Structure formats: C-alpha cells, structure tokens
Chains A and B, each alone.
Chain A
C-alpha cells in the first residue's frame, strides 16, 4: 500500500510487502525518501478514488491549466511483469501545467546506502537485494544526482505522461513497455470494480462501507490472508509524544470483527483465507495465543527503534511491536468467537482443528483468573481488566456452543460451563458498580473503558446481563464521549501524554446502540462520524477532538472493520 499525500507526494511505501522496510518514508522529511509529483506553480487540488477502485485520482488546478494524476499499485498479469509496480499517469486537462517529479528512494528505512546508476538511459536505484527502475514516457528527461531521480515536463491537453516504478527483490528488474503498463493499469481498475461488484452490502452509507471494504482488502496480505492492523508504523497518537507503534501486524483482537465484517460483505475467499491463516499462525504458539502475529504467520516479533526523525518530530519511530509478548486474555474470546462465526457461516473444523480449539478453551479455564495487559496493551502493571474476563466468558460460552454442534470435542464442556459461571460471578461481584450503574474498567476502578462495548456487542452473559450492559453503554458514552468521538479510557496506561478520540470505539458505540434497539441514536451518531473521514473516505486510528486532525496509524483496519459492522448492524436492526 502506498500513501499519497495531498500535495501529490507518495510519502509511504514499503517494499516488497506491507510489513517490509520502507523505501519512501517521509516520517523523516530529510532522510526518509518520497516520490514527489506536483505542478511547479501554485495549485489547488481535488482528490477522489476512481469509483469502486483503489486507484487514486488527483486533479491539480493552476493559473495556467489543469492536470490529472492517476496513481495505482498495479496488479501483476500473467507473463513477465514486475512483481511490484507503481504507476503514475499524468493527463493534461486544460491549458499547460508545468510539472516536476522526483523519486528519492531510501531503502531499508533509509538505513541502507542507496546507489543510483543507469542501465542505458534508464535510472535504477538499488541497495542490497532491492532495486527499483524508474521508467518514464513523455514525462521529461530524467536526471539523477544527490540520490534523486527527477524530471520536468509540461502537462498539456492531449498528452499523457507516464512514470512507472518497477521493483525487484532478490532478482532482476523487469523493464516493461508502456503498452503493458497501460494495460495493467486498466486491468487493475477492472479488478477492483469486479471485486466491488461481488460485495453484497446494499444498506445505508454504501459508499463508506465499500470504501472501507476496499481499504481492508488492501490491508490483507494476499499470500497468507492475514490482515494488517494498519499500513504504517509510528504515526503518533500524540504529536510530540511517545505513543508511536508499528501496526503492520495482524492482531488476534481484530479477528472476530474481521471475520464478521468479511462475512457480512460477502467475501467468502477472504473469510476462508483469514480463518485458516489465524489457525495456522496460532498453531505455532498453541495453546497460548500471541497478541499479534506477523502477516506471514510467524510468531516472533521484536521491536527496535529507528533513527528517523518521526512524523512532526514525534519520535521514536519503532519497527516491530513488544505487545506481542504481553498476556492479553481477551484474545481467547476473539479466537473462539471467530471459530463460532466461521462455523455458523457453514464452515467446518477438522478433527485436529477442533481438538486444538478445545485445548484453547481448556487453557482459558486455567488462566482467566490471571491479571493481564488488557485489550489496549497498557504498559503499566497487569490488572484484572473487566473486558478481559468478559471475553474469557465469551471464549468458554462459544466453546460450549461449538461442542454442542459437534465441531469440537465435548469431553470438557461441563468444566467450560462451570468456569464460565465462575467468571460471571467474578465480574458480577467485583467489576460491577451499583452506585455508578456500570461495569468498571477493573475491580475497584473509578472509571469505565470503551472496550466494555465489545462484550455488549457479543452478548456477554446472555439475557441475564443485558440490562447491566445497556447501563454500561450509557455510562461509557457519558464519561468517554466528546461529541461523536469516544476516548478509550481516561485513566493511566503507563505512558506519558494523552491521546485522541478512538474511532473504532466510536463505531462500536454505534453498533452497541443499534444492538440494544436504539437505532435512531445509532444513526445520528453514524451520521456524525462519517464526515470525519479524510477527503477520500479513509480513517486513521484516532482524531484530535480539538483540531479534527488524524492521529495514529493510517489507514486503520480496526476502524474500517468497526464502520462496516456498525453500518450492517444498523441496517439489520433498522428494518
């Protein structure tokens, strides 16, 4: 996934894969690398996606004319094509627009020494086993110097310039003819339109839901089916703060929402791939679950700091994520809920898989009473987070249901029931505050937590808890909402600084309200949240309630998953 800024600069691109080191990373404006393409005179811009696709169109209007830039990461075709390819086509719409482009590749997060050389007339940048060639047609004569390949040309009516960056990783570069690049660009547009046509959602806010589906599809690592939480690392949750994390991994906590959304959008191939990726990845740590896994399914994730400056000077820039080693009990609830959804949609568990799922439920019986770091991966001391306990109850409840359906062995089902009752007793006695009429963040806390919306959405405790969960939803809204935005919590988490409104939680509130039958409130809140997307319908992790600026990594899969699920729930309950 390449991120294109509003000035036409490609500010973020990792190669060859989403979780590979960056080649463009304007997290450090001086050293990180980027691909600029813009008029040389003052301009105004309009942006949109080519309808129903992930192909971006940016129209630059200057005093002298207008030009349209079409940006796409091209899908490979059969035959000898680059495995990764970025195309930028410039069409003159009116008058004459002087354009300048410059490619500043900086491989391996700018740690590698990038060499620029020529193959005949063609500029090629390389470092180690990575290389890129900048092929261009009618886009000026490329010059190179200071680690930059650049050119100038005039965008005029009737002329189309094309710049194509082809990438090689551990093999020779493929240098395509223009005709093939154009054909792949058309093929890429056709692919996305065809993919969108197969999606089943026809409810309200369809444009936003489809845009979210398209964004999620970009976050899916095609070779494995794993879904990245976001495309970036270390976009700060607080400008100038230390809350900068690498999200280019797949979180188990997102699994049930992901499977739910993919099912509701009618994506059977993606459901199948993701579910089996999850089971394959978790096999490596069975019966324990890691908080997150690499997109290729590997369990080992280290964390290191880069010497890049960071967005807006917000260091450190981290790659890897230490949260992988935390104990987070809620992940077990998400895994079992995912299995339950998968089986409910007609999928089946093999004998071996069913046995593993049952062993995971057995593990939950042994560890649910341990303190953990909670869904938000706090870096303070582990606690008995209420939401973690509730998700353990969900895990055991779903295990009992799966056993009843014959999907997993039932020899320990009685124990799962007993332990689920024990959890419910713990939560009821220690995590509920009669004075505040709400479940609390943890026993003895003086605050609530937006993660408590999730058990409400998953019907924690069945009908017996419906009333208390409804009251908790109201309390969460009263204490954590600021306009349409919801904070995750207000208390400490072991880190300095505050953060913005957490968009996934805001959409969870929409979902929870709709599930409680309060559809009008849910609709009103949804209508407030949708305009907060950027100009092309994408969301970051958080929004600063004061400035409206995005905070955190981008685009954020969990937010788009929550948006899809909230829209579908509202559509279902509103009928």
Chain B
C-alpha cells in the first residue's frame, strides 16, 4: 500500500471519471461540465476556463486519492470495493456540500438563490445533488465516482 499507488490510481481514476461524465452529456443524461465550473472560478474566458478546469480537476482527483490512501492506511485495508464505497460517499459529498456550500464561497461567478446577475454574468447553480443540470446528473455522478473509487482502491491494493 503506497502513496504512489494512490496517486497513480487517482490519475487514472480522474481520467475515467472525466471521460465518463462527458459520456453522460453525450448520452443526454446530464449537462454538468465540472472542468467548466471549476475553471470559471478563475477566469471568465470559456476556453481557458475549460483548460484550467481540467487541470484543477486532475489536481483534485489526486488530492482525493491521497485522502482515500490515508483512510486505507488507517484501517490497514485497501480493495476495489472499499474504494467504490469511498467513491459513493465522495459523490454524495460532492453533490451536496462541495458544490452547493463550498464552491459558491470561493466561486465569484456562481449564482445562488440570494444573488442576482446585476453587474456580472453568473453561472446557473448546480442545486441539490446537481439536479439543476439534469435529472440524470446524480446517477452519472455516483456511477463515475464509484468507478473512480474502485480504480483508486485497486491501485492502492496492488501497490503492495
């Protein structure tokens, strides 16, 4: 069980997670675009926001993999199914507290029910479980995070 294993799993897992979310959009299940949401916290330029957002999303993916690793270490056990369980918790956290409570705190362009687009354009808020971005969004989010967690768990387990 090594940190490098977790980081490798985090990299691969984020790659699969990002691709899976894009697939969900192409399948008309959701219109969530996490890199766009993250990137627009730092720039109003759409293209730059997406590029920056992809980078940030990978950093976040590695950070979460490190957190998973810490928990694996503390319980001295790692497996794909345990990782998937973490992924489920991760998805619920992301769909509730992270994007609805934490993200608007630092995101200057995220609308809330208390804000109005008076002077600057704002992004539509994600809503509870990201439901504002389509009723299929929670399912897509949970599915891709389960896969992410399973990949991180398996990589950590395989890293010895």
Most A CB within 10 A of own CB, among B29, B114, B116: B116
Contact of B121 (CB < 8 Å), options: A120, A124, A168, A180: A180
B56 on interface, CB distance cutoff 8 Å: no
Per DSSP, chain B at the interface is: loop
* With known contacts A80-B44, A172-B133, A128–B121 Cβ distance under 8 A: no
Complex contact A175–B33 (CB within 8 A) = no
CB pair A120–B113 under 8 Å, yes or no, is yes
Q: Select which of A78, A112, A128, A180 is within 8 A of B31 by beta carbon.
A: A128
From the candidates A120, A130, A169, A175, name the one contacting B123 in the complex (CB within 8 A). A175
B102-132 residues with Cβ-Cβ distance < 8 A to A are 109, 111, 113-114, 116-127, 132
- When distances are taken between beta carbons in the complex, the residues of chain B under 8 Å from A381 are none
Contact: A177 with B36, CB < 8 Å?
no
**Nearest chain B CB to A15 CB, angstrom units:** 12
Q: Indicate whether A171 reaches chain B with its CB closer than 8 angstroms.
A: yes
- CB of B31 within 8 A of CB of A133, answer no
Interface assignment of B45: CB less than 8 Å from any CB of chain A: yes
Q: A119-B132, A128-B134 are in contact. Are A80 and B31 (CB under 8 A)?
A: no
What range describes how many residues of A lie at the interface? 20 to 34
Contact partners of B116 in chain A: CB under 8 A: 120
What is the number of contacts between chain A and chain B, taking CB atoms within 8 Å? 89
B28 near A119 with CB under 8 A, answer: no
A570 vs B46: C-alpha distance when bound (angstroms): 47
Query: Are A171 and B33 in contact (CB-based, < 8 A)?
Result: yes
With A79-B44, A80-B40 known to touch, is A129 a contact of B125 (CB < 8 Å)? no
B121:A126 contact, CB within 8 angstroms: no
A170 at the interface (CB under 8 A from B): yes
Find out whether the CB atom of A119 lies under 8 angstroms from the CB atom of B120: no
A176 at the interface (CB under 8 A from B): yes
A131-147: contact bitstring with B at CB < 8 Å (1 yes, 0 no)?
10101000000000000
A contact set with B: CB distance below 8 Å: 78-81, 83, 112, 115, 117, 119-120, 124, 126, 128-131, 133, 135, 168-177, 179-180
> Could you tell me which B residues sit within 8 Å of A by CB distance?
25-26, 28-33, 36-37, 40, 44-46, 49, 109, 111, 113-114, 116-127, 132-136
- Can you list 21 residue pairs at the A/B interface with Cβ under 8 Å? A79-B121, A80-B45, A80-B49, A80-B121, A112-B28, A119-B113, A119-B125, A120-B113, A120-B116, A124-B132, A128-B28, A128-B136, A135-B117, A168-B124, A170-B31, A172-B126, A173-B123, A173-B124, A174-B123, A177-B119, A177-B121
What 9 A-B pairs have minimum CB-CB distances, sorted nearest first? A128-B28, A173-B124, A171-B33, A80-B44, A129-B31, A79-B44, A170-B25, A175-B117, A120-B113
New A-B contacts (7) at CB < 8 Å, excluding given A80-B45, A130-B31, A179-B119: A80-B49, A119-B124, A119-B127, A135-B117, A168-B31, A171-B36, A172-B123
